[in-house]
Amino acid sequence: MDTATQNQIDHLLKTSGLFPEIEKPSRTILEFDFKNETILITGAAGSIGSELARQISQYQFKKLILIDIAESPLHDLINEPEFENRTNVNFLILNITQKESLEHLFLTLKPTVIFHAAAYKHVPLMELNPFESIKVNILATQILADLSVINGVKKFIYISTDKAVNPVSIMGISKRIAEDYLLSLSTSKSTIFITTRFGNIFGSNGSVVPLFKKRIEIGESVIITHKAISRYFINKEKACELILKISQNKYQENTLLTFNMGNSIKIIDLVERLTLFCNKKQVDLKFTTLRPGEKLHEDLVSENEILMPSEHKDILIVQKKTQNTFPVNYLKRISEIKAFTPNKEVKAILNSYFKN
C-alpha cells in the first residue's frame, strides 16, 4: 500500500465518527441560501438524508420536510439537537411508493426543492428482493419526478450511485434506469433534474466499515469476498456539502454529475489501516467469493460517458457521448411486475432495458 492510499484511508477514518476519541477537523460553514425554499428530503433518516438535514438546519430556510418510512431512525432524528424547538421542520412517516400520499404532500406542503435520497441500496439483499427494488428505486422516483413537474418544483436533486455504471446488480440497474428517466425529462418544464452519482459513504449505516471495526475489536475474523476487491469511498459530510453546493448552482438543463473521490481503495488495505486504528497488531482475514450482483471493481463512467470539469474542483460533469431516447413503455412493463413474479424473470426484464 502506497503512502497516498494510507493517507486517503486515514483521512476517511478520522472523519468517519467511528473513533470519537479522535478529534474531527473543524468544518468550514459554507453559505447557502434557502430562505425562500420549502425543502423536501426523502430517506431523511438514512445516512445521506439525515446529514443533509443536519447541514441545512444551519442555514435559513422557509420549511424543511423530512420523510422516511423507517419509524425508529426518524424518531431518533427528531430528538437530535439541531431540530429542538424548530417550528418550520416537518417529520413525516411516508411511503414514497404510494402516489396518493405524495400527491397530498405536494398539495399541502408545496416543496420547491427536493433531495431524493430514499433508496434500497444493499446489493445482495436486492438480488433476493428485486420487486421491492423496482418499486422504490425506479417507480417511486418516477412518481416523485412527475409530481415535481406538475407542481412546479424548481430543483430535484437525485442521489445515485457508482453501481449504476455498467450495472450488473438489481440495485445498480434500478438506479441506472432512474438516472436515465430523469435525464430524459423535458427541460422546457420548470423543474431542473440534477443527478449526483458517487461511491460508498464511508462508515454509513449498514456498511462494511462499522462491521469490520466491530469484528476487529472483539477479535473475530474479518470476511472479505475477494483479495483484489476495491471500492470508491467518500466522507458523508463532504458528499452532502457538495450536494448542497450543486443545489445552489444555476443549471439550465438536466445534468448528471459525479464527485472527485480520489482513487478506489482495496478493501484489504482498508482493513489493514482499520486494524491499526483499533490498536490491534493483526487480524484474522478470511476470503470467500463475490456475492450475487457484486462486482470486483466499480467504475465512475461507462464507455458512453466522459468526465468534464465543472466550476468546482470536486464536482465533475458526466457527459454522454450519445443520447438515447428513454423507452417510456418500458416503465409500464416493469410496473406490471408482481410480488410473486420469479426473481429470475424480474432480472431478465430489468436487463432487457439495455436492449431497447
Q: What gap in Å lies between CA 41 and CA 158, rounded to an integer?
A: 10
Q: Which residues of 66-85 are buried (b: 16+ CB within 10 A; e: fewer)?
A: bbbbbeebbeebeeeeebee
The values of phi and psi at residue 236, to 5°, are -65, -35
Which residues make Cβ contacts (< 8 Å) with residue 272, sequence separation at least 6?
Answer: 1
Structure letter (DSSP) for residue 160:
E
Contact between 54 and 32 under an 8 Å Cβ cutoff? The reply is no
Q: What one-letter code names the amino acid at 20?
A: P
Count of CB atoms situated within 10 Å of the CB of 31: 6
DSSP letters, 51-111, are HHHHHHTTS-EEEEEEEES-HHHHHHHHTSGGGTT-TTEEEEE--TT-HHHHHHHHHHH--
pLDDT at 28: 67
Contact between 234 and 259 under an 8 Å Cβ cutoff? The reply is yes
| One-letter amino acid of 39 | I
Query: What is the residue extent of each domain of the chain?
Result: 30-206+234-261+300-355
CA distance 277 to 133: 36
pLDDT of amino acid 22: 83
Cell of 32: 447557502
Cα 252 to Cα 317: distance, rounded to the nearest angstrom? 14
| CA–CA distance, 256 with 302 (Å, rounded to integer) | 13
Res 188: pLDDT: 67
The CATH number of the domain covering residues in 30-206+234-261+300-355: 3.40.50.720
Q: Which of 163, 175, 238, 295 is catalytic?
A: 163
The C-alpha cell of 187 is what?
427541460
Alpha-carbon span 29 to 327, nearest angstrom: 43
SS3 category, 192: strand
pLDDT along the chain (356 residues), means of 10: 93 90 72 93 97 94 97 95 90 97 98 98 94 97 97 97 96 97 85 96 86 94 96 95 93 93 95 95 93 95 94 94 89 93 94 86
Is 281 tagged catalytic? Answer: no
